[in-house]
Amino acid sequence: PPCADNGTGDICAAAPSGSPRCHAISTYLSIHSVLLKRNSHAAISESLDLPIGRGWKYGSGFVDGVFPVLSPIAQQILEFLLEEGDPSKVWLSLDTLLPSHDIWDDLINVAVQLRINKQWDPIVLLCEWILNKSSFKPDIMCYNLLIDAYGRKSQYRKVESLYLRLLGSQCIPTEDTYALLLRTYCTSGLLDKAEAVFTEMQKSGITPSILHNLLLNLSWVICYLGEKSAVVYNGYIYGLVKTGNIEKALNIFQRMKKNRCRPSTDTYTMLINLYGKASQSAMALKMFNEMKTVKCKPNVCAYTALINAFARDGRCDKAEEVFEELQDAGHEPDVYAYNALMEAYSRAGFPFGSYEIFSLMQHMGCEPDQASYNILVDAYGRVGLHEDAHAVFEELKRQGMMPTMKSHMLLLSAYSKSGNIPKCEEIITQMHKSGLKPDTFVLNSMLNAYGKKGHFAKMEEVLNAMENGPYETDISTYNVLINIYGRAGFFSRMEDLFQSLPSKKLKPDVVTWTSRLGAYSRKKQYRKCLEIFEEMVDAGCHPDGGTAKVLLSACSSEEQIEQVTTVLRTMHKEAKTMFAI
């Protein structure tokens, strides 16, 4: 049996010295040894006439881009797994299945469909039954599905244990297996382990040509491992991006190209998304153009990522250009592409442009989803058309969709901006009745609404509930308060809140500093503004365009304006962006 996790996160701590499983994550079995074991394993299964997993059905042993057609039996199994959550009942029912190749295909197709739907718990139930209770011989695809599910649930110890069991069962890991390991470690914050896996794979020396020679006479194909696998790099980059290690992710991308591994469409799409989310649409476009330069054909996802990048910057003109290019390339826009273009018009302050795209989507036979309605609610709310936002919210419900937390938040934000306190309180009540618990964003919106109306007592009540109740405060919470009190001229309360941030383990961001600066700027307290600006820079917080405007507004003479302009220009020249390539 495979070694168990020792509970510390270190695998195989108790394994005998020299055991190949003792170093399963950092070293690999001999290719010849593995092949011999696999052939032996297949021969035993054939002699006993037991069904064996046919992972070759999906090529690489994994399921990205596969959309299975379910048989009637598979459909019944799928519906049962989605409805029944009791493991004992699930396994008892699965025990009644008669083992056959068709049933095996049905089970794997069900697992693939569950993965498409991101239903990780049913995948665990099904694949654990295959491993522990059934007479089937699980293949690499079954293991990969289960590793993926545990990884998505952030159960890295389960992943490690399962990987050891995979090796012990004489299955051969594919590039997808290692990509899943890397992603699991990265998303769990275990970057040292991820780096160890990645480094050892590069050192393994298993190249496509070597594997081809070894496997030439075999009837089944194993995807190669090693430094030329884009899938592995993608898994590593994905995990780093998810955990916010942006600089490290970009370094891995550079290493990927340096090692002559050609980035795939997925690689570039991740990078475009990365820059887009950081409001770096110019860099996102640079990645997109590089992608086309190296003859990597963009797909719908890549185009949509670029549309989203321009949307975040409010560049609806550029977003529409990319949308047209998507169609010219022969792609059919999906709901995500339409939503991205709607978002572009929304952020640019053109709600009726968003509505036109919404109508076009329906006309073209593409059904709007919940996100489509949410974007439209936000589009109207951003420009103060709260009644139109409310009408879309009601239409969402008439279409049979259940308003989510985000739906309520966007409607609340619309009424908050217009200062309609009774409506805001009514929405909070509706959320409670719907079983939705207000989160930090909702309560921050209420703080802002009360503050703008000068209801400071109610604002403090909400803050007290957040600090002493089950709710969490974040830096945005205090940014709202600092801005409100600063605008109202309550400098003492504003400074108390600012000074309290370290004790709450919160770090002031550029909005915090700029809001504080703004309070003194409105009073033309130039020297005080310069002191705060110096504190801001010393704290490692880089000023943005808003900070510059506030600082300039504190000036009351040409000399002061020239002084501030000189400082800002000097800082701009010396600034280093973390996204430099």
d(CA 432, CA 443): 13
pLDDT exceeds cutoff 90 at 357? yes
pLDDT exceeds cutoff 70 at 257? yes
pLDDT at position 69, please? 80
Which of 34-43, 56-65, 337-346, 566-575 has the weakest average pLDDT? Answer: 34-43
Which of 225-234, 350-359, 468-477, 548-557 has the weakest average pLDDT? Answer: 225-234
Tokens of 274: 């990365």
Tokens of 410: 């966007």
Average pLDDT over residues 120-133: 90
Mean pLDDT of the chain: 79
Confidence of residue 38 (pLDDT cuts 50, 70, 90): very low
pLDDT at position 231, please? 74
268-326 pLDDT, tens digit each: 999 999 999 888 899 999 999 999 998 889 999 999 999 999 999 889 999 999 999 99
d(CA 517, CA 479): 12
Contact call for residues 115 and 145 (beta carbons, < 8 A): yes
144-188 pLDDT, tens digit each: 999 999 988 889 899 988 888 888 887 888 777 877 887 888 777
d(CA 568, CA 563): 9
Residue located via tokens 């908050």: 416
Q: CA nearest 21: which of 182, 168, 138, 210?
A: 168
pLDDT at position 163, please? 87
Please state the pTM of the whole predicted model: 0.59
Tell me which of 424 and 356 has the higher pLDDT.
Answer: 356
393-433 pLDDT, tens digit each: 999 999 999 888 889 989 988 888 878 888 888 988 888 88
330: helix, strand or coil: coil
188-208 pLDDT, tens digit each: 777 677 777 766 666 554 333
d(CA 42, CA 40): 5
pLDDT at position 360, please? 94
Q: CA nearest 85: which of 53, 122, 127, 50?
A: 122
d(CA 73, CA 103): 8
